[in-house]
C-alpha cells in the first residue's frame, strides 16, 4: 500500500511540475490600496484555473469607510494555448463589505450608490459571471493581461446611520446584474 501511495505521489508531482503556474496582481485594485493576489494553474492545454483574492481593511479619512474582502475563482478557456492570447472566463465571486459615508450621487445599473452618502451598509454578497480577456506575453516569465466580465450578484445587508456609530436601522437585500470583473493584471509565469 505504501508503494502504491508513493507511486501516485510521484506521478502527481511530475504532472503538476509539467503545468504552468502564474502569480498576478491587479493594478486597478493596487491603485485603490486594496491588497490583492491571484494564482493561475494550467489544467490542460486550453484550460486553466485562476483564483484571486482582495482585501481592503484600511480606515479612510473624514469618517469614510470602504472595507471589504472578495474571493473570485475562475475557470478559463483559452482559444490557442493557456497563458497567451484570447480567453473566456467563467467566474464565481463572494465576500463581505462594510461601506459608508461616501458622498456621491451615482446611479449605476439599478443600484443607487448615493445611499452610501448618509448610511453605512454591512453585509455579504455572492454571484457568478462570464468574462473575456487577452494576455500579452512580454518575455519568458512576464505577461500583461486585461479582462472584463459581466454577471449577477446577490447581496444581503444591514443598514446603520453612520460610518462608525448607531443601532441597526433595517436589513435588506439587492439583486445586481452588470460588470462583475475588471482587471489589468501584471503576471509572473513560472
Rounded CA-CA distance 152/15 in Å is 35
Residue 148, C-beta contacts closer than 8 angstroms, at least 6 positions apart: 131, 132, 133, 179, 181, 182, 183
Write down the domain spans for the chain: 2-189
Walk along the chain (190 residues) and give the pLDDT tens digit of each residue. Answer: 566 455 545 544 544 544 699 999 999 999 988 999 999 999 999 999 999 999 999 877 776 777 899 999 999 999 999 999 999 999 999 999 988 776 666 667 667 666 666 778 899 999 999 999 999 999 999 999 999 999 999 999 998 887 677 789 999 999 999 999 999 999 999 9
User: What is the reported pTM?
Assistant: 0.81
**Listed residue (19, 17, 18) closest to 41, CA to CA:** 19
pLDDT score, position 2? 60
48-93 pLDDT, tens digit each: 999 999 999 987 777 677 789 999 999 999 999 999 999 999 999 9
Q: What one-character-per-residue DSSP string does the chain give?
A: -HHHHHHHHHHHHHHHHHS-EEEEEEHHHHHTT-EEEEEEEEEETTEEEEEEEEEE-PBPSTT-EEEEEEEEEEEEEESSSTTSEEEEEEEEEEEEEEEE------EETTEEGGGGGT-EEEEEEEEEEEEEEEEEE-SSSEEEEEEEEEEEEEEEEEEESSSS-----EEEEEEEEEEEEEEEEEEEE-
CATH number for the region 2-189 comes to: 2.40.160
Amino acid at each position: 500500500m505504501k508503494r502504491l501511495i508513493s507511486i501516485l505521489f510521484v506521478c502527481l508531482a511530475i504532472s503538476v511540475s509539467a503545468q504552468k503556474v502564474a502569480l498576478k496582481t491587479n493594478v486597478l485594485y493596487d491603485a485603490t490600496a486594496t491588497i490583492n493576489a491571484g494564482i493561475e494553474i494550467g489544467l490542460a492545454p486550453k484550460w486553466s484555473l485562476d483564483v484571486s483574492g482582495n482585501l481592503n481593511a484600511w480606515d479612510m479619512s473624514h469618517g469614510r469607510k470602504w472595507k471589504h474582502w472578495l474571493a473570485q475563482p475562475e475557470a478559463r478557456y483559452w482559444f490557442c494555448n493557456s497563458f497567451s492570447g484570447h480567453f473566456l472566463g467563467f467566474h464565481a465571486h463572494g465576500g463581505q463589505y462594510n461601506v459608508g459615508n461616501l458622498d456621491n450621487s451615482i446611479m449605476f445599473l439599478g443600484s443607487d450608490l448615493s445611499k452610501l452618502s448618509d448610511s453605512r451598509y454591512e453585509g455579504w454578497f455572492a454571484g457568478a459571471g462570464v468574462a473575456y480577456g487577452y494576455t500579452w506575453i512580454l518575455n519568458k516569465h512576464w505577461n500583461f493581461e486585461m479582462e472584463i466580465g459581466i454577471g449577477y450578484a446577490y447581496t444581503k445587508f444591514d443598514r446603520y446611520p453612520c460610518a462608525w456609530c448607531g443601532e441597526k436601522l433595517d436589513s435588506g437585500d439587492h439583486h445586481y446584474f452588470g460588470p462583475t470583473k475588471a482587471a489589468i493584471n501584471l503576471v509572473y509565469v513560472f
